[in-house]
Each structure stands twice: as C-alpha cells, then as structure tokens.
Structure 1
C-alpha cells in the first residue's frame, strides 16, 4: 500500500482510507493507492468496501498542481469506473468535504453516508474546468437535471442536510464509517446505469442565462451546461468520453491557468500569520462612519469586543445607528436571528465619545477622514490612552503612515490596515509595513486578517500603496484617451467588455468625484512638472458640482436608477480637446483596453521594482479583490505574462514615443522581457 491510502480488512469488510494531508487531494499517489487497495480488496474476497478519508476531509478534489502537466495514470475516471463496476458494493463514508473529484468518487459508489459537517459539490468551474471523472453524467442521473444545473455550472457547495434532501446521500450520521459498514443497501442500479433524466429545455436555457449573468465571458460554466444537456441524450460511455475531452481541453486554457494561479495565490496569502502572532480579543475602532462601522462589525463577527470611539454624543448615536443597520441587514439576509443580533450588539459593542477611560485593548484601528493632521491627533490620543502593547493601525488609503506615526512612544507597534469598503464584505486588506513596524506587530495583524477570512496583502509605503496607486495611473491613462478622442461611455463599455465589473468613470460616479479630486489637489497634478495634466475631471467638480450618484449626476446623468451619457460632460470633453489644440480621433475598444491594461501593468512593474509589493501575485490579488479586475484573467500581472512581456514592452515603447509625459518603460519590465521571465518568476 502507499502512504497516501490505507487498507484494513476486518469482518469481511475492506476499509479504504485516503490519507493525503492536509485535505486529501486525489494526487497521483492517492490514485495509485486506491487502485492497489481495490485490487487487494477484490483478491481478499470481501463482501463490502467502505471508502473514507482521514481527518476532517473525505477528498477535497483533484490535485490542481497537476493540471499544468500531462495527465499520468491511473486517471480518476478509471478509478470511478472501477468503483462503480466493483464486484461487491462500495459505500462512501463521507466524513468531511467531498468536492470535485472527491464527490465524483462518491457518486460512483453504491451508496453514500455523510457526516452532518460534510460539504459536497462539484466546484470545478471556479478553476476554469468542468468535472472530468463523471460528475456531469452521474449527478443528473442521481438527483435530476434541475438539481445538477443548480450545482455544477455555479460550482455550488452544499451541506449534508441539503444533500440528503435532494438524494445525493442516502443517510446522515455522526459516524459515517460505522454506518457505512451496516447500511442496508437500496435495491437500485449503479448511478451510471440509471436512466438519463428527462430533457427540460426551459431549465437548460434558464441555467445558461444565469451562468451568463454570474460568470460573463467564462467558458467553463457554459461547457458544464453543455455536458449536463448531453447526459440527457448520450449513453454513459459517450457522455463520459465527451466530458473527459472537455476537461482536458479546458485545463490547458488561459482561463483555467488564470483561475488556478489566483486560487494558489489566495491560499498563500491567507496562510500568512496563521501559525504566528497573538490572537486579538479586544479592539478600539475610531470613527463610526461607513468604513469604521464595517470594520467594527467584522471584528465583532469573530467575537472581538469593540469599543467604537466618536467625537461627540451626536456622532456616537450616528455610529450606533450604523452598527444597528448592519445587524438588521444580517437578520434580513437570514444570517442571524433578531435575538442573536440584539445580543451580539449588546455584548460586543461599547460606544464612547472621546478617549477617556478606554479599555486596555489589543488593537486600535483608526478610520477617520483622510487628513494628516486629524489622523495624527487621533494617534496621539490613542497613544496616551492605551497601553504601550496595543497595536495601532491606520486605515488610510493614500496618506504616508510614516508621517502619521511621528511622535508615538513605540512606533514598532504601528502599521497600516487598509480595508476596502464595505469592510465587512470585501475580502481584501492591504497590510502596510511602516518604517518602524515590528515583526510581531506584522504577524499579529496577518493572524487577525486570517481570522477575519480576509486576503491580506503585504505592501510597503508609497502614495496609494498597491491598489490605489495603480487605480490612479489607470484613470490618468483613461483621461488622456478622453482628451484625445474617446468619450466616458465608450471607455467604460470597452473595459466592461474586457471583463471589469465597471468602467473607470462608472466607478468614480459610485465612489464620488470629490475623492479623486481631493487626491489630485493633494498631489498637485495641475502644476506638476513633467506630467501631462488633463483638466476635464477637475472642471466637472469645480464648475458643475456634479459629484456622482450622491448628487444625482457625475460623469453620467443618474435618473430612475440608470446612468445615462451626459451631453454636458461630453461637451466639456470635446471643449478641452479643442482648448489643448488636439484633433480628436477615433479609438477602437481594443485600443482602449490595450492602453488601459498597459498602464496598470506599467505601474505594477514600478511597484515591484520599488519593492512596494514583494510578488506579482500580491498585485494581482489587490486588483482582483479590490478593484474588480476579472478573476478569470488572473490579474494584470498574470495577464501580462500570458500576453507576453515582450509584447507589453512593445506597446509601452510605442505609447512613450507618442506621449513621453504619460509613458515610460519600467526598468524591471525591460529586464524581465530581455531575460524571458514571467511576472511570477521575478
């Protein structure tokens, strides 16, 4: 036997246990071990086989690390077929997660028993592929077409109780192995031998529309629907062959490569600090507005007691109302009962006006207005009110943490925690190393992020850190295209066509034009030497007062919940072109996308070269989780690697020749292209 699979024989039963920590992925060693175990069980003449997993997982899927290599036998479909045709019943004792290939093994079994904590699903589409070991053919035969369409194209994972309700498992018990040994087997054919489900064109078309809405431009969800539809009309053997071919075709494609890359990048980021640092049990949050309330609510969600500090009694009441609103929303969404929400708010929250008599907490997080002097006043007060062991964190989006920290007694306990709004929903947090941030402070912050189920990305100090710095460059590039001939709606449509959830001007209308306006004033863009200043956005704020959705108009007119192109704004754009002596020209959508993405990549390489980010993957995670870059493209740096850094270099060199004030080639990009390296290899 192999170390990854154990076999024990007793009472005429073979117990096969998959033991490949941490999550029992079906690696080649596991597959080989399973084949050997099945051979030995058959040779022993047992009356039943029980298949289970060691620890808290049954099988969490195939080994995604193997997807980029040619498949090596034994293949998972062969094992599933062997299980289904085994001379005696094989019963799956699903002790924990049975996902992807794990569920496909269970589907091939004669019956399935699940622990109450077990989760089941075929989430392959989230990695850009389809099930490849029978999932799209056996699941519809077992639970019906409608249920298969709700699970596979969405990559949905369900609990054991729902799996029992829809017939995916036969029993649910605290000891699935013991139950699997004695389970009375139902009198029914093997899953694959069951009749094909009846065709339902309405359900199939509804699933296609749902997949197009949820996963626009992604290939795998639509292919999964194709395969489920094929299960209606093809024999099992034909369906399995078609499924396998689709799996093999997709796993080498750009989308699958990008989604695997992001998956492993997320795992690496979330693994930081898990085994290090101290646990945060109590916190002060300064500022009870949208951001501060979201941070406080997220902390309370993991059991951290929170003291929320505001400036006066009226502000305290507004903060209390903001927190109450978040609890009310959770009740409306079915995430908590009204009784639990009321209890948690009473038990976990304290509200204070001012800094007198603050409790000796583990961490204090500031979330006030982006003004250096105000933030320094906050930290001076926190420094005086809290023990020297308390971590002090700023949520600043742009300001220099090293200037904020000046004057603190112990600057080693200070760092930036840049949450994204809404903080209780968004998964990203930039963890900013200030000049004096100590290692214990850093790992404790990373541990806290892991407990919050956030994706923490380490960043150094610069204006805007990683995400806002790239966003600023991206917007500046788009503004140049405006003055040269494009219009806001065209740029937004082109970027949505590329896969972003919203274009740059739609995003500004959502966040407010005053935010970017204040940042441009702070940076002095209008008088900055060697910089191409585009006055369009400043004119909109200064002359029209249009600040976006909150004023009913910004780059667009907002009426009846819809954004409509504005003749006034388009007129300002054309007027500024004439004022600059520019003859406007037509931009294609492809040219808009090429320029805008090149600007992101250009700034990303500068950030890497300055060591603001340690890895290209960190930049990609920030842009995906903070700014809506399409996950299935892998982030701007990974995408640049797939396009080819030589091609990206060629584009930027061409742009720089036309507009040297806006473009130049980062040294690191030129070097990487010359050496034939990808961004991940830097």
Structure 2
C-alpha cells in the first residue's frame, strides 16, 4: 500500500484516506494507493462499505498536471481505470469531501456511490482552463447525476459550485454543518445506508434525461459561447463529450471521452494554457525574497487621487474589507470620485452581484480627506496622481513627512522611474511601484515594480495584499514602461510605421483580431486616446532613438484634435457605438510618408503580423537579458492579463517558443535587411534571442 493513501478499517467500514500534500494531487502513487486499497476493501468479506476521504484537509485538487509535461500521466494505473474500478463496486462507496474537489478530485467523487461534503466545499471541473477536458469520467458521470444542462455549463465554463449548489443539482447527497467532521459524518451516513440496505450505485445503470431539452439545445449552446471561446480548442470537445453521454452507454461514452481528451492534450492551446497555469505559480517566487520573509501588517490603506484610477484602486481595497482613505486636495474632485465609486457599486447591485447591504458595508469602509495629516496612521499609501515626475516627487516628499515609520509608499506610475521617485524620500527602502491596469477595479494584473532599494519585506507585503484584493502580481524591475508598456512600444511603433508604408487601420486591426487580440492597435489607441500616446512620447524623447518618422501619424492626428473616441474621431470616426473609416488617415499617412522619404506599397497580412509581434518578442528578450523580468513566463502573464494577448496562445514568449525562435530570428533579420536604415535601427535581434535560437532552445531555458 502506498504511503500516499492510508488504508484503515473500523467495524464494517474501510477508509481510503488520501495523504499527499498539499492538495492530494492524483499522481501515480495516489492512483496506485487508491487502486490497491479499493481492491483490499473489496476482497475483505467483513467490509460492507468504503469511505474515500482525506487525511490532510482538502479532499482532492485533481490530477497532477506536472505529469502532462513529464509524460508520466499515462503511467499505470490510469486514472479512468481506477475510477471505473470504484464505480463498479458491489459495496457502497461514500466520498467524504472537505475543502475542495476539483477536476480529477470531483471525478473521483462522482465515481463513488454517495457524496457527503462540508458546507464550505467547492466542487468543479476546471480542466477547460488547462486546454483539456475532464478525462476520467467527468463528462459522462456528471450529466447522469446533475442533468445535461447543469453538467454542460459546469464543464465548459470550468466554474466550481458550492456544496449547497451541488446538493441542489443532485450530485451531493448530504451537506454537513460547519464544524462537523466530514469523515465522522460520512461514517454515520454509511451506517445509515447499510441499515437501510441501500444499494451500490453504478453510473452505467443511470439514464441521461434528454427529453426535457429542446432538440436544438447543443446548437444554441454553441452559439451562446462562440465569442467567449473563440480560439480555444477544448470547449468544443467538452460539448462533444457531453453529447456522447446523451447517446452512448457509459462504457462507450468513456471511450469517446478518452479520445477527445487525447485530442486536446496534444494541442498548442493546451500547452499554452498549462504554461500560464505554471507561470502564475512561478510568479510568486521572487529572487532575493526569502520564503520566511515576514510581511508587514496592513490594516489601513490610503490612496492619493480620486480620479478614475484612484477610485478604481480604492474599490479593490474596499471589496477586500480594508479600511481605506481616499485623499484629494480638490474637495470637488473628491466628492465626484466618491460618487463614481457609489454609482459603480449600485450598478453591480442592480445586476444582482451585490446586495444593498454589501454596498453600504463597502462604502462604510471608505473615508475621505483633503489633508495629508489624516493618513498618518496608514500602513500602505498608493499614489495615483497625474503622470508627471515633478508632481509625483512632490507627493512623495509630503508622504515622507507625514506617514508613520514603516508605512509602505507606492506609486501607480506606468512609465516613470521609481528609483527617482523613491529618492524624493528619506526612506527609499519603503517605496515600491504598484502599476494597476485600467479599469483598476476590473483588470487582474498588477505590475509590482521593485526599485533598487525596495526592502524584501515590502515586496512580500504587497504580494500578500495583491492576493487579498484578488490581483495577479508580477514583480518587475525599473526601466521605461517596465515590462508591459515597454513591450507595447515596439508593437505600436510598427503598427504606426506600417500605416505610413501602405497598410490601413482596418487591415492592421483585422490581422491582430484574427490572431486573437480583442481589438487591434488602432482601435486600442483610439480607446485610450491618441493624446496619451503623444504626450507620453513627448515626455520620453529617448524612446524614438532619433527616428523622425516615429509616431508621425499620431502627431498629425493630435495636432488636428483627433484624440480618438473621446473626440469622436481618431484612426476611425465614431458615432455613438458605431465606427467607420476616417478618410483623413490615409491622406495624413501619405503626407507623412512623402515627408520622411517612405515608399508606399501593398503590405501583406503576414508582414503586418510579423512586424507587430516579432519586435515585441525581441523586446521581451532584451528585458530578460537586463533582468527587468525574472523569467519569460512573467512577460507572458503581463501580456495576457494586461494587454489582451490571447490566453490560448500563452503569451508572446510562449508563442515564440511554439513557432520556434529560429523563425522569429530569421524574420527579424529579413526585415532588418529589407527595410534599409529603418530596419538597421529597429530590427536588430536581441543577443539572448540569437543565442537561444542558435542553440535550439526556447525562452523556458532562461
């Protein structure tokens, strides 16, 4: 018997207790332990019922997906075989679910005959987020227990449900009260079943209710998720697997599920989604910050600035239960900011996502002030004022004077030098960048900018705060634009240059959205505002490296007052939600091309894609060389969660790995040669990219 599963008996009940920290992942040792323990209990004539539970807390977090990349997930015994063994039991099997039953963990519970769960348990099949489908019976057993519609929604969305919801859906039999031991409750339930001579249940004998669904149910379901799942491979295979459950006996449905699972696991989408899963785990491991570093206590938060960004940041902390002060020297602006926060909450309440009581609870945590003296007891202060160095330095000088010793002073700058901001204080060790993305109360990404003198315990503290406000923190170093905006610069530079060379905004946006971005560059810059792009470049002239054509078209639009959606005209013309081509753009592009000696020509879609994406990837390689990002996967997390890079491609660096670094290198060298002086300036391959490609390696080797 494997140590990963503890086998014991008590009277006529045998217990199989998973014992593999931290979440009882279903690796080979656990699979073997379950199979051996079940066989032992089945052959023991004194045993009349079997309880499957956990010896370490959580029931089961699912398959060990590290086995997918290692190729050991197929090591025997296979998970579906173990679960089929349990499902076919002649003795009642009761799952005792505490904490979570996710993925293979829920499939294990579904293979049991009865399920008992604590009232705080979460149950779900999130495999679709890893680019695969439940491959150990979930797509066949859940429709039989919870109904087709409920099962399909759970499987395709990957969203877990509570124990109470699972009971209502029919796949949990008993929810135990808070504080009651689930193993004891399962034991009592097993004894009741034996006293009632309750039978062992086999899913093979359970019918699937197809008659209550419309004949076009699956077709309509596909239409309903089409936009959200565009580009992903697994959702359609999930649907096909559930369709199989509707028409095939269990044994044949399980076979079909296995075939579809193998189809999914060998796709670029699965590799990309699993890459991002492991990237999130890795992002929490920060070089130079020891695991045992003690975080500072954070109970009170202050945010300087009541505009769109400041208000959004405030909402994050109110949502997480932090007492928060919003400070603005302008009383009228402060009042407007509070009104926007309340309005946002009331809109959420109208959608049924908050109760009125919750709205008032959150607003009750908010205090406002126009005086810096009112935030002297704050543990964390976040500045979100105008993006100008002298303004920010003045704020930090004041914070240094008024805030208590040990308070963390954070700037929300998106491009400015955090080291320079920190030097405006007498405590640079307490200063850090927290770059929230707009809208700050919605976007998940948080770039944590580590300055030269930032203390490790400050980093540890803000990572903990980020988790509490449900953000994905990625630690980066100091440079212009950090990681996200620095990589955005060559992406936008090439899109704008291609417009001068002969491409149109419509072509560029179409190519990029067909690749998987939610919107193309021209639409994105119209949404953000051409004035922002212009003013940022004016503040950082070094970015252009003396190229007179750099951003020339944006400059022309700016001079005409065509800032994008906010003025009704930019790269496109806007009439409410409708947009159409702006004929002035082509004229302006032709004029700029003539002025800068650029020959206009027909541009292929392939060139648009390569010239937008490959310099972005090349910039990522430079960032890695300089140590601004600790690992390539950090760049991917930032680009997927902050800039709309398609998750099913895994981020720009993973995309480069997938298509081969040699192909990226060859294309950069091609454009370097073809584009003359411009190519020599902007398409020089990063030394790291060149070395990895030459050695036949990927960015994962860094």
Q: Same fold (TM over 0.5)?
A: yes
1:186-206: per-residue Cα shift (whole Å, max 9, x none)? Answer: 668522321233275422012
Q: Which of the residues 437, 441, 447 maps onto 1:420? A: 437
Shift of 1:302: 2.3
CA distance, structure 2, for counterparts of residue 355 and residue 625 of structure 1: 34
Alignment correspondent of 2:217: 203
Q: Comparing 448-457 with 130-139, which one deviates more in the overlay?
A: 448-457
> 1:345 and 1:592 mapped to 2: Cα distance?
48
Distance in 1 (CA, whole Å) between partners of 2:550 and 2:76 is: 60
Is residue 64 of structure 1 aligned with residue 37 of structure 2?
no
Aligned residue number for residue 236 of structure 1: 250
Residues in 2 aligned to 1:297 and 1:76: alpha-carbon distance in whole angstroms: 44
* Offset, 1:418: 0.7
The aligned runs of 1:266-285 (5 Å cut-off) are 266-270=280-284, 276-285=294-303
Which residue number corresponds to residue 634 of structure 2?
Answer: 618
Pairs within 5 Å for 1:270-419: 270=284, 276-346=294-364, 348-419=365-436
Q: Per-residue deviation at 1:486?
A: 1.0
Q: Once the 2 structures are TM-superposed, how far is the Cα of residue 526 of structure 1 from its aligned partner?
A: 9.8
1:262 to 1:531, Cα distance in 2 relative to 1, 3 A? farther
SS in 2 for 1:98: strand
* Alpha-carbon contact 2:305-2:327 (below 8 Å) kept: yes
**Displacement after TM superposition at 1:18 (Å):** 1.0
Task: Note the C-alpha offset of 1:568.
Answer: 2.3
592-601 or 624-633: which moved more? 592-601
Mapped partners of 1:423, 1:19: distance in 2 = 40
Q: Secondary structure at the match of 1:57?
A: coil
Q: Is the 8 A contact 2:52 2:95 kept in 1?
A: yes
- Structure 2 residue 541 is the aligned partner of structure 1 residue 540: no
Shift of 1:423: 1.6
Match of 1:494 in 2: 511
Residues 442-481 of structure 1 aligned to structure 2 (within 5 Å): 442-481=459-498
Partners of 2:124 and 2:204 in 1: how far apart? 18
C-alpha separation between the residues in 1 aligned to 2:126 and 2:374? 50
Q: Which moved more, 1:208-217 or 1:598-607?
A: 208-217
Q: State the 1:533 CA deviation.
A: 1.8
For 1:518 and 1:445, the matched residues in 2 are separated by 30
Bigger mean CA deviation after superposition, 287-296 or 275-284: 275-284
Q: Which residue of 2 is the match for residue 603 of structure 1?
A: 619
**Partner Cα separation in structure 1 for residue 378 and residue 625 of structure 2:** 38
Q: Report whether the alignment pairs 1:158 with 2:174.
A: no
Residues 621-644 of structure 1 deviation map (CA, whole Å, 9 limit, x = unaligned): 110111011111111011111111
Q: 1:344 offset after TM fit, Å?
A: 3.1
Matched, 1:129 2:132: yes
Distance 2:609 2:454 in 1: 39
Equivalent position of 2:52 in the other structure:
51
* Greater alpha carbon shift after TM alignment, 349-358 vs 70-79: 349-358
What is the TM-score normalised by the length of structure 2?
0.93
Of 175-184 and 151-160, the range deviating more from structure 2: 175-184
With structure 1 as the length reference, what TM-score do the two structures score? 0.96
The partner residue of 2:113 within 102, 110, 114 is 110
Counterpart mapping for 1:216-231 below 5 A: 216-231=230-245
Note the C-alpha offset of 1:218.
0.8
Equivalent in the alignment of 1:95: 98
Q: Is the 8 A contact 1:402 1:435 kept in 2?
A: yes
Partner of 2:261: 247
C-alpha offsets along residues 387-431 of structure 1, whole Å, 9 cap, x if unaligned? 232111110001111222233111111111111112222111111
Cα deviation, residue 468, structure 1: 0.5
Q: Which runs of 5+ in 1 are unaligned?
A: none
Stretches of structure 2 lacking an aligned partner (at least 5 in a row) = none
SS in 2 for 1:59: coil
Partner of 1:679: 699
> Residue 514 of structure 1 corresponds to which residue in structure 2?
531
- Tell me if the contact between 1:375 and 1:404 (Cα under 8 Å) persists in the aligned partners: yes
CA distance, structure 2, for counterparts of residue 4 and residue 321 of structure 1: 55
Task: Rate the CA distance shift 1:152–1:343 in 2: closer, same or farther, 3 A.
Answer: closer
| 1:112 positional shift | 1.4
Partner of residue 660 from structure 1, selected from 673, 680, 691:
680
Question: Structure 2 vs 1, CA of residues 526 and 149 (structure 1 numbering), >3 Å: closer, same or farther?
Answer: closer
Distance 1:296 1:104, change over 3 A: same
Compute the displacement of 1:223 (Å).
0.7
Q: Do the aligned partners of residues 411 and 206 (structure 1) sit closer, same or farther apart at CA in structure 2, a change above 3 Å counting?
A: same
Q: Check whether the contact 1:526–1:533 (CA below 8 A) recurs between aligned residues.
A: no
Aligned residue-pair number: 680
* Aligned-partner Cα distance in 1 for 2:310–2:346: 17
- SS of match in other structure, 2:161: strand
Q: Is the 8 A contact 2:92 2:200 kept in 1?
A: no
**Secondary structure in 1 matching 2:550:** coil
Secondary structure of 2:680's match? coil
Contact 2:148 2:208 in 1 (8 A): no
**Cα distance 1:188–1:489, how it changes in 2: closer, same or farther (>3 A)?**
farther
In 2, the alpha carbon distance for the partners of 1:439 and 1:105 equals: 42
